[in-house]
């Protein structure tokens, strides 16, 4: 596995020529391809794919594309996509490569995945990308990009809250302003303006805010087993 992480193609080739199993995973469910893409080793990644290693190989911890997205490796991620890796694959019924790029704030990887056909409105878990981004804060530039890419701000979380409501509860005027033109007016909000939405959400008897962000990030980390 170390040879894959060090871009040592001759060593990987030697391993293969002497009966090495390129499909075998380590105790964390990662094959040599997973290690290569995670470390950003383009030459090893291309070599392994040329030898027939399935681009979406999954031994229990997600496919290589998920590892590339999580580790912000846009170059190896592009190689995988060029070899027709599935950009919409769902890992453990909870997350996707695209959601991982949001969690780890990799805009380059996000753009590549969306260009390859990743669904910006996929609700793999309890939330869409926009719901996730507006829950925690600090993702304003991602929200702007996602809206331009066609993300739908009218898909609520499991508590029925829209992204604009989550942004308003955090008193984030910039995000509310971004979301307002794309969001269908909420009937219970009499003043459909930036200040009106924020004021209404602050004064309303609200459902309790659930911190999906921390719990979900911990869950993704548990999938990756990198804690």
What is the per-residue pLDDT across 184-206, written as a single tens digit (0 to 9) for each?
Answer: 999 999 999 999 999 999 887 45
Question: CATH number for the domain including 80?
Answer: 1.25.40.20
- The average pLDDT across 160-179 equals 96
Q: Is residue 178 part of a domain?
A: yes
Q: Are 43 and 137 members of one domain?
A: no
- Whether 26 and 131 share a structural domain: no
Q: State which of 93, 119, 145 marks the end of a domain.
A: 119
The answer to whether residue 218 scores a pLDDT higher than 80 is: no
The alpha carbon of residue 173 and the mean position of all alpha carbons in its chain are separated, in whole angstroms, by: 25
- Quick: pLDDT tens for 32-78: 999 999 999 999 999 999 999 999 999 988 999 999 999 999 999 99
Residues 10 and 87 in one domain: yes
Q: What is the CATH number of the domain that holds 154?
A: 1.25.40
Q: Does 11 score more than 50 pLDDT?
A: yes
Please tell me which residue, 116 or 123, carries the higher pLDDT value: 116
Q: How confident is the model at residue 83 (pLDDT cuts 50, 70, 90)?
A: very high
Considering the domain architecture, whether residues 107 and 177 belong to the same structural domain is answered as no
- Band (20; pLDDT cuts 50, 70, 90): confident
- Domains in the chain, number: 2
Is residue 140 located within the same domain as residue 42? no
Q: What is the mean pLDDT of residues 161-185?
A: 97
| Confidence band of 12 (pLDDT split at 50, 70, 90) | confident
Question: Is 208's pLDDT higher than 60?
Answer: no
Which letter, b or e, does each residue of 88-112 get, where b requires 16 or more Cβ atoms within 10 Å of its Cβ? Answer: ebbbeeebbbbbbbbbeebeebbeb
Taking the model in full, what pTM does it have? 0.86
Residues 156 and 109 in one domain: no
In this structure, is residue 57 part of a structural domain?
yes
For the four alpha carbons of 153, 159, 165 and 171, in that order, the dihedral sign comes to: negative
Structural domain span for residue 180: 122-212
Rounded CA-CA distance 99/90 in Å is: 10
Could you tell me if 37 and 131 lie in one domain?
no
């Amino acid at each position: 596995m170390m040879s894959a992480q060090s871009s040592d193609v001759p060593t990987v080739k030697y391993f293969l020529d002497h009966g090495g199993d390129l499909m075998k995973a380590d105790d964390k469910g990662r094959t040599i391809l997973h290690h290569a893409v995670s470390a950003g080793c383009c030459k090893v990644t291309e070599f392994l794919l040329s030898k027939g290693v399935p681009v979406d190989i999954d031994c229990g911890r997600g496919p290589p594309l998920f590892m590339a997205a999580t580790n912000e490796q846009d170059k190896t991620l592009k190689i995988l996509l060029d070899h027709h890796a599935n950009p919409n694959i769902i890992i453990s019924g909870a997350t996707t490569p695209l959601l991982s790029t949001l969690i780890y704030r990799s805009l380059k990887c996000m753009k590549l995945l969306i260009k390859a056909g990743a669904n910006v409105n996929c609700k793999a878990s309890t939330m869409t990308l926009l719901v996730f981004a507006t829950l925690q804060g600090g993702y304003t530039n991602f929200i702007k990009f996602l809206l331009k890419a066609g993300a739908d701000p009218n898909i609520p979380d499991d508590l029925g809250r829209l992204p604009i409501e989550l942004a308003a509860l955090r008193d984030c005027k910039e995000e509310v302003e971004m979301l307002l033109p794309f969001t269908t007016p909420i009937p219970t909000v009499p003043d459909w303006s930036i200040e009106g939405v924020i004021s209404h959400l602050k004064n309303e008897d609200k459902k309790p805010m659930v911190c999906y962000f921390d719990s979900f990030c911990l869950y993704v980390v548990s999938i990756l087993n990198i804690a």
